[in-house]
Structure 1
Amino acid sequence: MKDFFYKYANRDDLIAIRTSTNNITYKELFNSTEVLSAKLSAIDDLTNRFVPILSSNNSEFIRITLALWNKGFVPVPINTRWTEIEIESVLTRHKFDLVFYENIFFDKIKNIKVKKFSFDELSSLPGKEIKSTSNDEALVIFTSGSTGEPKGVVHSFNSLANSTINGAEILNQNISDRWLASLPFYHIGGFQIICRALASGCEIIIPDNLETESLKKAIQQFNPTHISLVSTQLQRLIECDTKLDKSLKLTLVGGGFSEDELIINSDKIGWRPIRVYGSSETASFITAASAEEIRKNPGTVGKPVNNTKIKLSDEDEILISTSSLFSHYLNNPEETKSKLKNGFYHSGDLGKISGEYLFLEARRNDLIVSGGENVNPYEVEKALMEIQGIKEACVFPIEDNEWGQLVACAIVADKEISDEDIKKELKSKLAAFKIPKKFYFVNQLPKISLGKIERERIRVMFRTEK
């Protein structure tokens, strides 16, 4: 199924990648990929099939991904917002023996005992022939886990390709279309922008960065036909009066909570939003709803796409069977067994079904989705409890129109400690998006008879707080 993404490799009349400084045709991209593939043999330590890549959204990331695919290796995009400690934990736990990195992220890995190759070093290696190996595994995407450790979601070429095939009626792609690379490539939503574009001969427009002003500039300069955003990005682009071209076909809006009002209002001004629901495990979206469908069915995350079946367990957990489903969690057979049962992925999300439409009641158990990033509250609580003076902590989400959800925490302290002191302590332990934005100091936390903190009760206590 790898050939699904190579169909346009010889087309020198189609732009594959467009940036503010240059354009690369499909033929140029794939020819340069072949050259880079030959250089991989000069790396003596390239023995692990899984190769981490620490990079922002750029053309080199795409080249390296294709070069690894050419030789049977599996790219493992690393979250660039993780701290050095978080990156080291993942590299060590999975015994990754080297990492490819963009120069601007060297400080995040310089003290980690692992082989490192910058993009510049890769380009300067001598070219040698390396034997290709057959491998259907195509990608590992890390997502938050129930124990606080990120889980490596392993996808095959089949599952990545099937995601595009299943969503074809929604996406409506052709070779004249242009995808804005508006989500990080280390997220499944961002990586699938690459896959969808390659499969249909579309352009991949790479903005200078993912800040609002750069996205606005790229939208207005290059007129993408397809955009994929989290609700925070969409809200900010609307607020800064981003001008849209009539060629825009759709804007996928996913990555967590989005207000019906945002979808409906953005539709009125030309964004053509499609609310989508999915996860890293499903290779992006498996349901979709237009603004019109949301008007008629408030709160819905849509109908299942093709080759997808959704049902509810007796406890209303959303169970998903789809041809785009992941194969397993990397080095985690226990978690794989608990989530994949009888051909269905047990999502951990709670929902209801009315007619053809799915409604999401609670997202991924206790995970907090803030600005499209998953935050595990237990990981944050563990870091909080390491701070001197904090006796108890409970981390929970607060709904927010801009971010979808904010990370908040209720704290019992046995000495005086300020928000800023806590943030300063957490800065070296957690990525910035995981650090609580709201702090509530209380004398005690509500608990059940067994001493377990009543997380949902605490969430209700502070639901109306701003």
Structure 2
Amino acid sequence: MLPDNGRMPNARDLQPLPVPPGSGALAVLPALTRALHGDGPALLPVAAGDAAESRRLVAALADGTPLTAAEDHPDDPTALVIATSGSTGAPKGVLLPASALRASAEATHRRLGGPGHWLLAMPTHHIAGIQVLVRALLAGTSPHAVDTSAGFRPDGFAAAARQVLAADGPHYTALVPTQLARLLDAGGDGLATLREFDAVLLGGAATPPALLRRAQDSGVRVTTTYGMSETSGGCVYDGRPLDVAKVDVDGETGPILLAGPMLARGYRHQPDAPAFAAGWFRTGDLGRWQDDRLEVLGRADDMIISGGVNVAPLPVERVLAEQPGVREACVLGVPDQEWGEAVVAAVVPADPAAPPAEDALRATVRERLGSAAAPKRIAFLPELPLRGPGKPDRRALAALLVS
């Protein structure tokens, strides 16, 4: 019988795990190995270089209280609690059992062609980064990491990649679209080494089709991924679920639901989170099936209602990003007296001194997606504000555009 407080006897603690940036992240491998084996406490990875954010997450999630019976299990211990703010900004702690991390990593190896050697290029306090280390541990290989002490640089990527590529067997890495774009733009050794990887997982944010085509035309073996912390990382590759994942779309175009052994146990301090029900996780993303492939249309709460018409931002972003002279685009709705919400686009031009013509961009969106989707305003920015592993920070961008 459980005590009245719901805690298990000998309840396990949740311990912060400060993760250094770049190549220093490899120092967490011993602690991660113990967590996967169920030895010692569960771990809350936090960025060692961001003291204020680390304190905020520790106060909210690793607050001195042990894991409850709903948050842990002696036969399948919670290995990691991944902090995610999602679209709300409030920290949530995603409870990932060791079995879920293993199921995701092993399914990834089966899809890609077997266990291999991994290069870490993303922050390890996010799920996409730490899963690179989990995959390497399960493969029995020694991962290498890109030195990002001065930011992500193509020459630094090339130097780390050479160490990985020197080993026999398959070679893998994982990037966000911004990193891929930098490597393609720079060319040289960074792109040359990237071409040698057997698979480059690309996730963390929506990939513009033009960037994907450009990578493929450059000889890069890109695999797009869809997933989140709640699914132990990517669980849909190139639109097709991994062999352990189940995907359902509620309606012809509707919310995406995911299930399978890679699913999280729930959220820290939220035993009855409505997103987890009957073995399924309700993602909050909208999607639809295109033949046998899942097409993700973006977050349901990012949907813009302009003049009574629903406008999904992601298709508009894809059209804009395909146009000559556009490097990146982010679309959102801002309050408008006439339309309720006005469709506004933030565009990063390939050449800041010669941005594309606004009228031409607007006309192309109108022709492809209808007049309601055409941006009422287009703002040219030197770069998009980002959060997490390469996602556009829509709240920061909305504040910027409204101001």
Q: For residue 17 of structure 2, what is the aligned residue in structure 1?
A: 53
- One-letter code aligned to 2:176: V
Name the SS of the counterpart of 1:346 in structure 2. Answer: strand
CA 1:187–1:268 in structure 2 vs 1: closer, same or farther (change >3 Å)? Answer: same
Per the TM alignment, residue 288 of structure 1 is displaced from its structure 2 partner at its CA by 1.1
- One-letter code aligned to 1:365: D
CA 1:259–1:147 in structure 2 vs 1: closer, same or farther (change >3 Å)? Answer: closer
Question: Which residues of structure 2 form unaligned runs of 5+?
Answer: 1-10, 66-73, 304-312, 346-372, 381-403
Q: For residue 198 of structure 1, what is the aligned residue in structure 2?
A: 137
CA contact (8 A) 2:331 2:344 kept: no
Partners of 1:160 and 1:343 lie apart in 2 by 17
Q: For residue 435 of structure 1, what is the aligned residue in structure 2?
A: none
Name the SS of the counterpart of 1:149 in structure 2. Answer: coil
- Tell me the C-alpha RMSD between the 2 structures: 3.3
CA 1:407–1:181 in structure 2 vs 1: closer, same or farther (change >3 Å)? Answer: farther
Instruction: Write out per-residue CA displacement over residues 51-105 of structure 1, whole angstroms, 9 at most, x where no aligned residue.
Output: 1122224222222333455633111111457561x3333222235349xxxxxxx
Match of 2:126 among 187, 190, 195: 187
CA 1:458–1:236 in structure 2 vs 1: closer, same or farther (change >3 Å)? Answer: closer
CA contact (8 A) 1:223 1:245 kept: no
CA 1:245–1:348 in structure 2 vs 1: closer, same or farther (change >3 Å)? Answer: closer
CA 1:267–1:339 in structure 2 vs 1: closer, same or farther (change >3 Å)? Answer: same
Name the SS of the counterpart of 2:143 in structure 1. Answer: strand
CA 1:51–1:310 in structure 2 vs 1: closer, same or farther (change >3 Å)? Answer: same
Q: For residue 217 of structure 1, what is the aligned residue in structure 2?
A: 159
CA 1:145–1:228 in structure 2 vs 1: closer, same or farther (change >3 Å)? Answer: closer
Q: For residue 344 of structure 1, what is the aligned residue in structure 2?
A: 280
Q: Does 1:72 align with 2:36?
A: no
Per the TM alignment, residue 168 of structure 1 is displaced from its structure 2 partner at its CA by 2.9
Q: For residue 464 of structure 1, what is the aligned residue in structure 2?
A: 378
Question: Which residues of structure 1 form unaligned runs of 5+?
Answer: 1-46, 99-132, 290-301, 368-395, 411-444
- One-letter code aligned to 2:165: N
Question: Counterparts in 2 of 1:238-317, with a 5 A limit?
Answer: 238-241=184-187, 242=190, 243-244=192-193, 247-289=196-238, 302-314=239-251, 316-317=254-255
Match of 2:264 among 296, 310, 326: 326
- One-letter code aligned to 1:179: W
Q: Aligned residues: percent identity?
A: 24
CA contact (8 A) 1:256 1:404 kept: no
| TM score, norm. by length of structure 1 | 0.58
CA 1:319–1:454 in structure 2 vs 1: closer, same or farther (change >3 Å)? Answer: farther
Q: For residue 163 of structure 1, what is the aligned residue in structure 2?
A: 104
- One-letter code aligned to 2:336: P
Partners of 1:151 and 1:404 lie apart in 2 by 29
- One-letter code aligned to 1:49: D
Instruction: Write out per-residue CA displacement over residues 190-240 of structure 1, whole angstroms, 9 at most, x where no aligned residue.
Output: 111011111112230122225123223222454271010001000101111
CA 1:159–1:274 in structure 2 vs 1: closer, same or farther (change >3 Å)? Answer: same
Match of 2:82 among 128, 141, 147: 141
CA 1:166–1:135 in structure 2 vs 1: closer, same or farther (change >3 Å)? Answer: closer
Q: What count of residue pairs does the alignment treat as equivalent? A: 304
Partners of 1:456 and 1:234 lie apart in 2 by 31
Partners of 2:337 and 2:344 lie apart in 1 by 10
Partners of 2:51 and 2:331 lie apart in 1 by 18
Q: Where does structure 1 differ by over 6 angstroms across 4 or more consecutive aligned residues?
A: 407-410
Question: Counterparts in 2 of 1:33-112, with a 5 A limit?
Answer: 49-56=13-20, 57=22, 58-67=25-34, 71-80=39-48, 82=50, 84=52, 86-97=53-64
CA 1:340–1:240 in structure 2 vs 1: closer, same or farther (change >3 Å)? Answer: same
